[in-house]
Chain A
Amino acid sequence: MFVTHLQVGDTVRRHGADPVTGCVRPGAVRVALRDVEVQSAKRRIGSVPNLGELERAVMERLWAAPGSLTARDVQEGLTTNPATTTVLTVLSRLQRKGLVTRERDGRAHHYCAVGSREDHVAELMNVALDTATDRSAALARFVGSIAPEERARLRDLLG
């Protein structure tokens, strides 16, 4: 729906064309179209609710897994049935954010969550509670605007 011809051409060349013959594999076109839709939606509304939901779903899947997972494992566990390229995009975004690590094992990449869900919730709550604690007011209600050592110093100064 949001696709323009130029974008379809671009994406197909990137993902789907056979490098030798230049022919387009049929499955790849579907994948590419889906990607273009995601990208167009991103341009259209600034942020992609689907991508956020997908990130959450992928993290839930990784947290629930006992060990590391391949992108295919992740994809199979998702109920929304996203394209492989989309799952790879989400995994690399999560990797960039430091929430996921990737290890190469032979030909396959294995993905693993950095820290448990509980660890991360605890990190958020620590920041949130600390911000609500400042004596005269929520001095650092604005997350991160004050370093721990400054906070300690303030406490000392104010007794």
Chain B
Amino acid sequence: MEVAALGLLVLGVGLAEPVSRALADARWPARDPVGALLVWQSVGLVGGLALVGACAVYGIAPLGPDLRSVLAVLGADPGAVLAVGPSHLLGLALGLGLVCWLLGVTAATTLRTLRARRRHCDLLDVLATPWPAVPGTHVLDHAAPVAYCLPGRRSRLVLSVGTLRALDPAQVVAVLAHERAHLRERHDLVVLPFVAWGATAPFVPGMVRAQIAVAALVEMRADDVAAAHTRPAELACALRTVGGAAPAAALGSFVTALDRRLDRITSPPAPLPPPVSVLVRLAAAALVALPPLVLLVP
């Protein structure tokens, strides 16, 4: 059992740092954002499960040679878990603490997000004018060009007057298609665990990179959806107008990242060949199966 615990630990640490880093630096995700997002989801899920599992398995290791015998011992006498000795009890406590931490941080992030969204929505209700031409779209009276979506049950698409002035109708349609893709595919939920876990482990640069990479992939996916409905040049031009209004556009790194993303719209990289893309999805699924395998194989 100690070997299984060690295996899970190696898996968890490996996913949290070198694998996350390599995946964040890889170039292929731009060619298959959906596949890359699936891989990220399973890296996140399995990374968390493996670390918690490593602590728990180490904790119960003295009770038996494999999981089945341990479960039989615990089923007969749950109190036996106290007899594992101080270092193994510490392992159990660590695992429990990690679970509470991960779930707590996710819950706190969710609550904070919901509260901020409700406040934003309440303000939009009294400040923004519903745009009759496009149902669900609200216009905010401000000169700076912004366009964004507010996900959730009361989801909104918001454009500023500045955006309507700066863009021609086809470009407005393109921006709305991009934002609508975020809403329809619930990209906020895709990003949420990574935001929460990035907050859990800010000292692990791999986790922070994961957060940023997932956010970038979600944008690429929305670009792809929007580009299918509009002319790519219009979309790129419109997104540059809206993105370039931000104060951070003064930062070189931001502009470089935006440029790279917009180049991807006008001259898209070749999508991954279908067999490779299938392989990516299979790898994501196989990764999820890894922790149970480590536990079950003696």
Q: Give A contacts to B, CB under 8 Å.
A: 47, 49, 52, 55-56, 59, 94, 97-99, 117, 120-121, 123-125, 127-147, 150, 153-154, 157-159
Contacts and interface: CB of A to CB of B under 8 A. Distances in A.
Contacts of B124: 124
B199 to A, nearest CB: 6
Interface residues of B, number: 60
B140 A125 contact: yes
Nearest to B253: A135
A121 B141 contact: yes
- Which secondary structure dominates chain B's binding surface? helix
A159 to B, nearest CB: 8
A150 B198 contact: yes
Contact of B115 (A120, A121, A144): A144
Contacts of A136: 212-213, 215-216, 257
A55 B121 CA distance: 13
A147 B149 contact: no
A141 B160 CA distance: 15
Contacts of A49: 130
A137 B218 contact: yes
B75 interface: no
Contacts of B208: 154, 157-158
Contacts of A142: 113, 151, 182, 187-188, 191-192
16 contacts: A47-B154, A59-B126, A124-B120, A125-B142, A131-B148, A132-B243, A132-B245, A134-B254, A137-B215, A139-B191, A139-B212, A140-B195, A141-B148, A145-B188, A150-B198, A157-B205
Contacts of B199: 147, 150
Q: Which of A49, A137, A153 has the most CB of B within 10 A?
A: A137
Interface in B198-212: 198-199, 202, 205, 208, 211-212
A121 B142 contact: yes
B246 interface: yes
Contacts of A139: 191, 195, 211-212, 215
Contacts of A133: 246-249, 254
A78 B247 CA distance: 39
Given A99-B122, A141-B149, A135 B254 contact: yes
A45 B202 CA distance: 44
Contacts, number: 149
Contacts of A59: 126
Interface of B: 109, 112-117, 119-120, 122-130, 140-142, 144, 146, 148-151, 154, 158, 160, 182, 187-188, 191-192, 195, 198-199, 202, 205, 208, 211-213, 215-216, 218-219, 242-243, 245-249, 251, 253-254, 257, 261
Contact of A144 (B113, B128, B251, B257): B113
Contacts of A98: 119, 122
Contacts of B116: 127, 143-145
Contact of A121 (B125, B140, B187, B261): B140
Nearest to B257: A136
Contacts of B141: 121
Given A55-B126, A135-B253, A157-B208, A141 B182 contact: yes
Nearest to B118: A97
Contacts of B248: 133-135
B195 A146 contact: yes
A127 B146 CA distance: 11
Contacts of B130: 49, 52
A132 B218 CA distance: 14
A154 B261 CA distance: 20
Given A125-B144, A158-B253, A56 B126 contact: yes
Closest 3 pairs between A and B when the two form their complex, measured CB to CB: A144-B116, A133-B248, A133-B246
Contacts of A141: 148-149, 182, 215, 219
Contacts of A145: 109, 112-113, 116, 188, 191-192, 195
Given A125-B146, A127-B120, 13 more contacts: A98-B119, A117-B127, A124-B140, A130-B246, A133-B254, A135-B251, A138-B219, A141-B182, A142-B191, A143-B150, A145-B109, A157-B205, A158-B208
